[in-house]
Structure 1
Amino acid sequence: MPRRTPLTTLDRLRTPGRFTGFLKTASVCALIAALLSPLAQTTAAAADVTAANDYCGGQCSDILPPGENGNATLAQILLNQAFGTQPEHAEDQLGPYANLAKGYSSLTNATINTFFNDASFGVASDQVASTLSPAGRTDVTIVRDKKTGVPHITGTTRYGTEFGAGYAAAQDRLWLMDVFRHVGRGQLTAFAGGDPSNQGLEQQFWRNAPYTEADLQAQIDNATANNGTRGQQALADANAYLDGINSYIDASDSGRYFPGEYVLTGHKDSITNAGTIDHFKITDLVALASVIGALFGSGGGGEVNNAISLLAAQEQYGVEQGTKVWEAFRERNDPEAVLTVHNGESFPYGGKPADAQGEALPDAGTVSTEPLVYDPTGTGGDQSASATAAAATASALSSARRGMSNALVVSGKATASGHPIAVFGPQTGYFAPQLLMLQEIQGPGISARGASFAGLSMYVELGRGQDYSWSATTSGQDIIDTYAVELCQDDYHYLYHGTCTAMDKVELKNSWKPTTADATAAGSYTMRVWRTKYGPVAYRATVGGKKVAYTTLRSSYMHEADSIIGFQMLNDPDYVKSPQTFQSAVQHINYTFNWFYADANHTAYYNSGDNPVRAAGVDAEFPVWAQAAYEWKNWVPATNTADYTPASAHPNSVDQDYYISWNNKQALNYTTASWGDGSVHRGNLLESRVKKLVAAGGVTRAALVKAMADASLADLRAEDVLPDLLRVINSSTVTDTTAAAAVSKLQTWLTAGGQRTETTAGSKTYANADAIRILDAWWPLLVKAEFEPGLGTDLYTAITANLPIDEAPSAAHGPTGSHAGSSFQYGWWSYVDKDIRAVLGDSVQGALPQKYCGSGTVSSCRDVLISTLKTAAGLTAAQVYPGDDLCAAGNQWCADSIVQRTLGGIKHYNISWQNRPTFQQVVEFTSHR
């Protein structure tokens, strides 16, 4: 049997830990020598590739760290672990990406590609590194460039083009694709060697999408049948793509250059080559899509937690006042919130109904989470380990789900050239290998370059076409509702339209056994989900004394494959020719995204997602009874289809003066499922900078990149909240020496810009380090001292479950977790801002129902702030930054730093913190078809 070493993939997601258990440095050299020979792949002679129909005029750029090459042989992994060497193109985009943090201030249009790649179509003849005709095909070539190794796929037939896309994807991301198809199927633990830390990852996704093989196939059949010619083409494209993937698997197996992780997890033997790498099948693509959709494209599902915090507010204040308090903190439609569509147009959705109908709030103290794990055996199946892993995953993966993506798009009316400019991209986290991969695809009906999720790269998902570019940010509007199904007979039957109906039981057993004495112990456990017509059961409770199961119904549930049509359209140069056709394309994407567009003449925006039409009076914030009167309009349980709000009701716009998005509120009266869309949001960091540029006019690509980069280093608390905190403190002379010294340092930092940036490039030391340490220590102390006395401990705790108080770069306790880059999306910034301004007597729109800081007087509030500031100033760096397996306690820069979290055997160096997209484009088209 091949030797098996457990791969702790969950640790790769939540910590910068190291690939462990297989490396003995003293024995490395001989093994490496034996393995080096199959590293080289035979390629055809390099051929010149010329750009086809490229209207960007050399002004399109992109970047995706750490590097395009996400596959490594066993020898390369061992060399990396022993000596730090990198496979070619594994981290060559990491340095340019990192260097922008200190290099942006002197940026010019001419130096943009010092920090980005040239994203022009094609490869110049002197930049061709290799040309491959995969599997000897004559209808497709894969050209890789010298600088980045990005595959440029050119086909003369549609089948050949997609075959090449699949082959290139496997060349660059085979192991990662295999990991995530097993995540989507709830089978990661056994696949990756049995380590229990993987269980939380597979449990989170399988609970939300507990699909059987028949369910996966049905989604493909439905997407194909319901979309006519395009549906048939998508199926043909997917099958050709799979053929390419599987062709590479066979070639790499016979040539013995498959990813080394297969050896390290027991799937292949490094000496005999025994073992197999399973071919991919079409249902694997749906499993992959379900993971990506859950991470990045679904909003809502928090109705039970909302209900718990509402009940806590009503317990504290009484029903009427408690409801007002809850609504104030929920900020459904805050008048001070930054908006993407800022021209005053209203798009009502998800607002509070005048007279809520069908609410099914739980009886206090009765809510319990539905168990997922059953029959655990062995070390790997230990319940406590599983629970710990699940909890860690819930926090860690929310870094991808919560903190993502930004966009800065400026109309040609405000640019120096008269052409629109865009700087935009998704924040998908930092991983090694990266979840996204770069590619260019040119073939019949396809012409695009950009990024795609590994394993779903039959089309470019975010990138550029011949004369247009597009990108997305996560929008988070509510497409998930919670229903209270009344139980009958027992805990596994429920009332459906008056008839006692059995729940469907879906089970999946994971088991593993050791192959060597030092491998992970044998173990197994079963995951069980009870499904109803209203979706899977998530919680149990009583409502008015009646036993209920709370289910979650997602509009994209059983429809993971549907969005393929929209992506197909985005890649089709004969379809997308204008802002309107772009909007039409993304209307076919059922996940919740904000989409942005720029060509040489126009800009556009559209918010996608299947927004269900709810019954009159239903409040989407809370659970409702599972009764016909409260179902989605024309909902069909068998297909999970319903009426959805029309395209015109989705926030959309063409040629607004500028657009910004950083997961903020989309438009007036459009309520997302996210808490925290208030007066202070990280979108403000973009809004203030872009608005100033547009007002001045003459915007250039360099200027817009600078605005993005400047915002990416800003501490939101310092820029938008600290000035008012200091106003309160400085309302009288600060006599305490400790507090006075802290105030002085904070003011100096604020005057310098309030950024978290190195003294000099590579110094790994922050300018104004003491001030940053003080604010990091002060924020959680001041929030608690400001609000807990007035709210009461129970309500304060309940609201923090809806919205964490802090998401600073080093706040490992926040929703993003440590070393994840994305920061300042979720926190109590607006609450502090509104409360402090109210205490100061400023005008506050959408004010909180009472003044909390020091019971509302400036002097008492000042006492609270000074007291907590003194405590914070007295904390050492080691106390504020306690250290982890990457950073020593007290190392502030390291605590903030970004780590490419290993999902395989190759690891990379950490880089200085930047709050920016993972994949990013800079585009300005010079002409249009």
Structure 2
Amino acid sequence: MNYSNLTRPARIIAAILLTAASAASLATPRSETRSLAGLATPARVVTDHWGVPHIQAATARDAFFLQGYTAAGDRLWQIDLWRKRGLGRLSASFGATFVAQDRAARLFLYRGSMAAEWAAYPADSKGWTEAFAAGINAYIDEVSAGRRALPPEFALTGSAPEHWTADDIVRIRSNALVANLGNEVARARSLCLGGAKWEPIRIAIEPRHSVRLPEGLDPCSVPAAVLSDYLLATAPVSFDGQRVAAASAMQLLTAFNASAADEGSNNWVVDAAHSATGRPILANDPHRAHGVPSLRSVVHLDAPGLHLIGAGEPALPGIAFGHNADVAWGLTIFGIDQEDLYGLALMSPDTYRFRGKTRALTSVVERIEVKGEAARTVTLRFSHLGPVIWSDATHAFAVRSVWAEPGASGYFNAAWMFGVRDAAEFDAASRHWGTPPLNFVYADRRGTIGWRAAGFTPVRNNWDGLLPVPGDGSHEWHGLMPASLLPAVRNPAKGWIATANEMNLPPDFPNETRHVGYEWADRSRIDRIGAVLGAKPTFDLADAMALQTDQVSPLALRTTALLHGLSGDTPDQIAALALLSRWDGGEQIDSAAAALFEVWSQRHLRHATVAAVVPATAQPAFTNPALGAVVTTLADPGTLLGSHPETTRRAILLGSLGDAWAETARLLGPEPARWRWGDLHVARFVPAVATVAGATLRAQLEMAPLQVGGSASTPMATGMGGAGFDVMSGASVRMVLDVGEWDNSMFINTPGQSGNPFSAHYRDLYPLWAAGQYVPLVFSPAAVEREAESIVSFTPS
């Protein structure tokens, strides 16, 4: 890989790590034998030099048992926190400040029939999940007995890990990304404030569609704080005392929508005819908010009837993406709208109007244990639509989500894919998918490649899902759309398929009647990926890795194209125009133009556009417009820029650009030749619990800051959040798969495979990730043995 655009420390560290790993591969692996209660037959876990556990067992049940045991060994604090957050059990471990979050989380637990839930998954999946949970519990028992160390985060917080059940895992829904509740509320607030005409500046609607105000909805009836419980239920755990508050509801909603927009993914697959290997190549790099430990863990399961390797959330059995012996697959978010906000007219505190009659709310009283205090009793209320998240004396709001459907546990339907033998079987398996909604690309050893959009899709017969609707019976879902009606492609003539969360419904797809979704990511990443894939007759693994770390932004080029032909009025404007006119859109860390562009586009251009054209009364709903929507408006303003659009556009562009030049000079100094994007764009990975740690432990928990290139609009997505330019989201895992010659495959996971801050694999992959480097993803028994760092042999106890 090309190191030229990396910081010198990152280059040095990456080179040292790769050299050390090469030397370590020649050493004899460490060996250990353990007796393990709950294991039925002897088994092994071979951990390679990159911290990947390769689990070798005599039965699938024991493989999943050891996956749970190993996940607890590597990530006990992380998965225990995942379970407590999802089940609403944080207060029992951390105190009364978490009662509100626990109550919110319990609103969104699956509360339907568990028999129906398990029936929605493969027949073996419940047994696998019970084994996985038993493996976690076995490790916890060893910790309790003093045979394994308690991770330091538990001592720091005065808490202890809890035992798991299989039902715990599938009942939790809040780990799956669904859409578009936040934008429904933001759009209602915009319409209430008179911003309907200017909505195209805030967010793009695709395919072309006229948003219709649902009959019976007063957009001003939607409170700004209506999503407080929803945001709290889906929020990460914070130990710094900050909680969702109604007073900051609009700011929180804006931040929520912005972070969701930046959390995309890339995947693509190239067929054998267009691959330099003569075999398909599949690449995937899902983007989510970064964390410590990594959101995902890479694992290899090898047992009779079960052979797969890939990445998934460490609290779930199996993998979400990767490959088995015959088929590879990757995923990105597909824009199905899987939730709706309903307004209820209350007839009394416990009843609401439905189809001209009175219908009762269901109240559930639950006891929340509180550390060091008496337990709290909370009341959860549910309509026939779903949980009530806000109410006053006369109105309430409820959420209907596919989360409530059997089979909607996030990523759990990957179990259907574990044993597929070819592309046709994979396509059939993907039709079971519930949440989150996904673009699957896949390839089999025979050379077939394909794409399938997947996910539970509500049937809305008379509205589009873009605004809240009355819950009086006039806007009911009519079941779920058959999965076969979602789009799919097999072996396209061009020889490749790529997705990046863009609007990829086919031109003839009847979205005006099916209302699958209207809100998608900007096309910047997919345009760059498509341009690169289409420009070469053949594509190899190195090309795939280079494209995953590509830092060219078509959105930046679309934006700077607006400046063509303009001349500045001030020295700052003239200098800024000169710098950006020479720029190729590359957002490398040493780019001065990238630094100026990001300061301009993030801090000035969007807000200047809103200030110039949106009425002041509506501007509170436009605090964070999508850059792509703003650029599209400026490029083709129609009537949105008033009666003199050219004059208004020139004033917006030059005024904001001059202000951006001045701010960049304040941030990076007066000499543009010394400006570097990397000086602003820094990865700072800090675990939530570090905020309550002492200086020594905090230093052990945190990652050293590293400069990173790219942005949210480059294939190497490095999304920002908050007031600054720090990297907040992107690809923790990147994976490139050589279909059929699996040992050639490569991956990276940041900051490391382990969640133990004292493990060698806690941060070892972090500088490699920042440097755009990869490590082997070995699969064959011989390659696993060759890369072994340690081998633990387990015998049943």
Is residue 666 of structure 1 aligned with residue 497 of structure 2? no
Backbone CA RMSD of aligned residues: 4.1
Quote the Cα distance in structure 1 between the aligned partners of 2:444 and 2:476.
41
The answer (yes or no) to whether the contact 1:176–1:904 under 8 Å persists in 2 is no
Counterpart residue type for residue 544 of structure 2: L
The answer (yes or no) to whether the contact 1:416–1:699 under 8 Å persists in 2 is yes
Partner of 1:532: 383
Is residue 896 of structure 1 aligned with residue 787 of structure 2? no
Classify the secondary structure of the residue corresponding to 1:598: strand
Quote the Cα distance in structure 1 between the aligned partners of 2:261 and 2:560.
28
For 1:680-719, list aligned pairs within 5 A: 680-692=523-535, 696-710=536-550, 713-715=551-553, 717-719=555-557
Partner of 1:421: 281
Partner of 1:589: 433
Quote the Cα distance in structure 1 between the aligned partners of 2:106 and 2:679.
34
Q: 1:469 to 1:768 in 2, by over 3 A?
A: same
Per the TM alignment, residue 876 of structure 1 is displaced from its structure 2 partner at its CA by: 5.1
Is residue 152 of structure 1 aligned with residue 54 of structure 2? yes
Quote the Cα distance in structure 1 between the aligned partners of 2:490 and 2:731.
24
Classify the secondary structure of the residue corresponding to 1:597: strand
Counterpart selection for 1:263 from 155, 160, 164: 155
Quote the Cα distance in structure 1 between the aligned partners of 2:61 and 2:587.
49
For 1:737-886, list aligned pairs within 5 A: 737-748=571-582, 750=583, 753-758=584-589, 766-768=590-592, 772-773=595-596, 775-777=598-600, 779-800=602-623, 804-805=624-625, 827-832=626-631, 834-838=632-636, 849-852=638-641, 855-875=643-663
Q: 1:534 to 1:691 in 2, by over 3 A?
A: same
The answer (yes or no) to whether the contact 1:614–1:631 under 8 Å persists in 2 is yes
Quote the Cα distance in structure 2 between the aligned partners of 1:190 and 1:398.
32
- TM-superposition CA deviations, 1:817-867 (whole Å, max 9, x none): xxxxxxxxxx222332x33333xxxxxxxxx54252x75443453233222
Counterpart residue type for residue 451 of structure 1: A
- TM-superposition CA deviations, 1:426-449 (whole Å, max 9, x none): 223322212211110112332100
Partner of 1:650: 486
The answer (yes or no) to whether the contact 1:359–1:622 under 8 Å persists in 2 is no
Per the TM alignment, residue 150 of structure 1 is displaced from its structure 2 partner at its CA by: 1.5
Is residue 241 of structure 1 aligned with residue 143 of structure 2? no
Runs of 5+ unmatched residues, structure 2: 231-238, 670-674, 691-700, 710-716, 718-729, 743-797
- TM-superposition CA deviations, 1:362-381 (whole Å, max 9, x none): 346866527759xxxxxx99
- TM-superposition CA deviations, 1:449-501 (whole Å, max 9, x none): 01121211x2122111112211211223111122232221x233112344323
Per the TM alignment, residue 155 of structure 1 is displaced from its structure 2 partner at its CA by: 1.6
Classify the secondary structure of the residue corresponding to 2:310: strand
Classify the secondary structure of the residue corresponding to 1:729: coil
Quote the Cα distance in structure 2 between the aligned partners of 1:461 and 1:332.
30
Is residue 606 of structure 1 aligned with residue 394 of structure 2? no
Partner of 2:265: 405
The answer (yes or no) to whether the contact 2:170–2:409 under 8 Å persists in 1 is no
Partner of 1:911: 706
Counterpart residue type for residue 279 of structure 1: H
Is residue 727 of structure 1 aligned with residue 525 of structure 2? no
Partner of 1:191: 93
Counterpart selection for 2:310 from 450, 453, 461: 450
Partner of 1:331: 204
Which TM-score applies when normalising by structure 2? 0.75
Q: 1:329 to 1:251 in 2, by over 3 A?
A: closer
Tell me the percent identity. Answer: 20
For 1:147-546, list aligned pairs within 5 A: 147-192=49-94, 196=97, 202=102, 205-207=105-107, 209-210=108-109, 215=111, 218-225=112-119, 230-231=122-123, 233-254=124-145, 255-267=147-159, 277-287=161-171, 289-293=172-176, 296-300=177-181, 302-312=183-193, 315=194, 322=196, 326=199, 331-334=204-207, 358-363=215-220, 369=226, 395=255, 399=259, 402-456=262-316, 458-488=317-347, 490-506=348-364, 512=370, 528-540=379-391
Per the TM alignment, residue 652 of structure 1 is displaced from its structure 2 partner at its CA by: 1.3
Counterpart residue type for residue 791 of structure 1: V
Q: 1:101 to 1:496 in 2, by over 3 A?
A: farther
Quote the Cα distance in structure 1 between the aligned partners of 2:66 and 2:287.
27
Q: 1:861 to 1:163 in 2, by over 3 A?
A: closer
Per the TM alignment, residue 183 of structure 1 is displaced from its structure 2 partner at its CA by: 0.6
Partner of 2:780: none
Classify the secondary structure of the residue corresponding to 2:458: coil
- TM-superposition CA deviations, 1:487-524 (whole Å, max 9, x none): 21x2331123443233223455656466xxxxxxx798
Q: 1:558 to 1:878 in 2, by over 3 A?
A: farther
Quote the Cα distance in structure 2 between the aligned partners of 1:714 and 1:533.
48
Classify the secondary structure of the residue corresponding to 1:470: strand
Per the TM alignment, residue 400 of structure 1 is displaced from its structure 2 partner at its CA by: 6.4
Quote the Cα distance in structure 1 between the aligned partners of 2:640 and 2:284.
39
Q: 1:550 to 1:698 in 2, by over 3 A?
A: same
Quote the Cα distance in structure 2 between the aligned partners of 1:360 and 1:222.
35
Counterpart selection for 1:568 from 415, 439, 442: 415
Quote the Cα distance in structure 1 between the aligned partners of 2:366 and 2:3.
46
Quote the Cα distance in structure 2 between the aligned partners of 1:610 and 1:502.
28
Counterpart residue type for residue 471 of structure 2: A
Per the TM alignment, residue 422 of structure 1 is displaced from its structure 2 partner at its CA by: 1.8
- TM-superposition CA deviations, 1:868-896 (whole Å, max 9, x none): 22222222555599xxxxxxxx9963542
Quote the Cα distance in structure 1 between the aligned partners of 2:424 and 2:528.
29
The answer (yes or no) to whether the contact 2:327–2:442 under 8 Å persists in 1 is yes
Quote the Cα distance in structure 2 between the aligned partners of 1:903 and 1:876.
30
Partner of 2:777: none
Per the TM alignment, residue 593 of structure 1 is displaced from its structure 2 partner at its CA by: 1.4
The answer (yes or no) to whether the contact 2:226–2:397 under 8 Å persists in 1 is no
Classify the secondary structure of the residue corresponding to 1:552: strand
Runs of 5+ unmatched residues, structure 1: 1-95, 268-275, 317-321, 336-350, 374-379, 515-521, 634-641, 759-765, 806-826, 839-847, 882-889
Classify the secondary structure of the residue corresponding to 1:369: coil
Classify the secondary structure of the residue corresponding to 1:427: strand
Partner of 1:34: none
The answer (yes or no) to whether the contact 1:773–1:880 under 8 Å persists in 2 is no
The answer (yes or no) to whether the contact 1:363–1:541 under 8 Å persists in 2 is no
Which TM-score applies when normalising by structure 1? 0.65
- TM-superposition CA deviations, 1:64-110 (whole Å, max 9, x none): xxxxxxxxxxxxxxxxxxxxxxxxxxxxxxxx9x979649xxx9xxx
Counterpart residue type for residue 168 of structure 2: D
The answer (yes or no) to whether the contact 1:297–1:474 under 8 Å persists in 2 is no
Is residue 618 of structure 1 aligned with residue 463 of structure 2? yes
Per the TM alignment, residue 115 of structure 1 is displaced from its structure 2 partner at its CA by: 12
Counterpart selection for 1:135 from 29, 36, 60: 36
The answer (yes or no) to whether the contact 1:129–1:146 under 8 Å persists in 2 is no
Quote the Cα distance in structure 2 between the aligned partners of 1:398 and 1:781.
16
